[in-house]
Structure 1
């Protein structure tokens, strides 16, 4: 896969995060008594059905390369998906998403430890300001089990995005996403059986819609994090919070309070600032190259 610019990678992440909000919104429409493990299994099943046609015409050579990394990401993704359903159905959409967006900050130390990435003062500052915005949104005095579930989701998102660089680069985006969902299905099916609830296929259509939207997000992540260092682009993930605020207001009548608005500004403004810094650095590098 060819390298893309930092600006384009951040743009892809912004688009992916905005689309992902609609996946969360569909999850929030589920009935309170919906079997969580069954729904997560339905999401993976429909994701495989959606992706398979895109992989039929691609080269099958070395299709299972890097299977251990696909398996690791698949089960991290499954773990996060379970807690995501819990978090989204237990708190306002924008609040849950604000906690999910602790992921870019979590990625900074992870990237330093796993890939020896050098953290710039700008990326650290953007991450810290963004996380401070998350704290303003959730207000630590109101931290509860639902917020803890959302924090678990943030950790799994961070780990999954960083592990993308362990995957074989010759595999297409569709193949990568197919394998991630396919190898996680046995565990998801096992959990659905263990759940012991009667099989209810009613949420299947909701699961399919949620899968379609989240696959767009996952695809942008694969492209972006394969092409640029995570500390330079991870703050673009915060953009989806604006979408969550809008969808929560229009779809679920969730009116954001002042703390939510202040926290959102603290999350988004560092992103804009970091993008400008990266653009200036790229301009300086081009000038030096020309000289």
Structure 2
């Protein structure tokens, strides 16, 4: 896959995060007593069914290629999906998303440790300011189970995005996403059986919709992180917070307050500045 510009990779991530919020919104429509593991299983199954016919479009390679990395990412993805349902069901949509956006900050030290990426002072500054914005939004006075669940989601997102580097570049995006969901189905089924709740297939349509939105996001992440340095583009993940605020307001009557507005400025303004700086640097290098 040819290397794309930092600006284009960041733009793709912005679009992906806006779309991902609608997946979260559908999860929030679930009944409070819904079976979490059943819903996650339905998401895995519907995602695999959506992706299977698409896997045979365009260039494709063996499904067994890089299988160990797919198995690792697939189960990290599954863990993230479980805790995402818990977090979104227990918190306002914008607050949960604000904690999810700790992922880009977590990616910085992970990228440095495991991929030896050199972190620019600008990238570090933007990530720190963004995380300060997250803290302003959530105003953490106490750590509860929902906040811990959201932080686990952020960690799984960070690890999964970095592990994209380990995936076979010859496999198309549809194959990659299909395997990510397929390998987690046995564990998801085991958890649903262990949960012991009566089977209810009513949420299947919601699961399919949520899967569709999150698959678009995941596919964009694969394209962007395969093509650009994670430390330079990860801050674009913060942009979805604006959409989370809007969807929470319109769909769930979650009115943002002054802290949300201030926190959002801390998150978005440095991101726009970094994109402008990186675009200038790229222009200088190519001129």
TM-score interval, normalised by the smaller of the two chains:
over 0.9
Partner Cα separation in structure 1 for residue 55 and residue 262 of structure 2: 44
- Residue number in structure 1 paired with 2:133: 133
Instruction: Quote the offset at 1:59 in angstroms.
Output: 5.6
Does the alignment pair 1:236 with 2:247?
Answer: no
- Residue number in structure 2 paired with 1:246: 246
Partner Cα separation in structure 2 for residue 28 and residue 100 of structure 1: 15
- Residue number in structure 1 paired with 2:68: 68
Partner Cα separation in structure 2 for residue 118 and residue 248 of structure 1: 37
Counterpart secondary structure, 2:141: helix
Counterpart secondary structure, 1:140: coil
Partner Cα separation in structure 1 for residue 82 and residue 57 of structure 2: 32
Partner Cα separation in structure 2 for residue 244 and residue 57 of structure 1: 33
Does the alignment pair 1:186 with 2:189?
Answer: no
Does the alignment pair 1:150 with 2:150?
Answer: yes
Does the alignment pair 1:34 with 2:34?
Answer: yes
* Change in 2 beyond 3 A, CA 1:279/1:61: closer
- Residue number in structure 2 paired with 1:10: 10
5 Å-filtered alignment, 1:36-55, equals 36-55=36-55
Instruction: Quote the offset at 1:61 in angstroms.
Output: 3.9
Q: What is the root-mean-square deviation of aligned Cα atoms in Å?
A: 1.0
Partner Cα separation in structure 2 for residue 7 and residue 24 of structure 1: 26
Instruction: Quote the offset at 1:55 in angstroms.
Output: 1.2
Where structure 1 has 5 or more consecutive residues not aligned to the other structure, the ranges are: none
* Change in 2 beyond 3 A, CA 1:60/1:233: closer
Instruction: Quote the offset at 1:89 in angstroms.
Output: 0.7
* Change in 2 beyond 3 A, CA 1:261/1:143: farther
Partner Cα separation in structure 2 for residue 92 and residue 60 of structure 1: 41
Counterpart secondary structure, 1:141: coil
- Residue number in structure 2 paired with 1:86: 86
Where structure 2 has 5 or more consecutive residues not aligned to the other structure, the ranges are: none
Instruction: Quote the offset at 1:62 in angstroms.
Output: 2.5
Partner Cα separation in structure 2 for residue 47 and residue 58 of structure 1: 19
TM-score, normalization: structure 1? 0.97
Aligned residues: 287
Checking the alignment, whether the CA contact within 8 Å between 2:60 and 2:175 is kept in structure 1 is no
Instruction: Quote the offset at 1:139 in angstroms.
Output: 1.1
Does the alignment pair 1:173 with 2:181?
Answer: no
- Residue number in structure 2 paired with 1:121: 121
5 Å-filtered alignment, 1:210-225, equals 210-225=210-225
Partner Cα separation in structure 2 for residue 57 and residue 152 of structure 1: 34
Instruction: Quote the offset at 1:63 in angstroms.
Output: 2.0
Partner Cα separation in structure 2 for residue 40 and residue 237 of structure 1: 23
Partner Cα separation in structure 1 for residue 124 and residue 8 of structure 2: 21
Partner Cα separation in structure 1 for residue 226 and residue 242 of structure 2: 25
Instruction: Quote the offset at 1:212 in angstroms.
Output: 0.1
- Residue number in structure 1 paired with 2:283: 283
- Residue number in structure 1 paired with 2:159: 159
Counterpart secondary structure, 1:25: helix
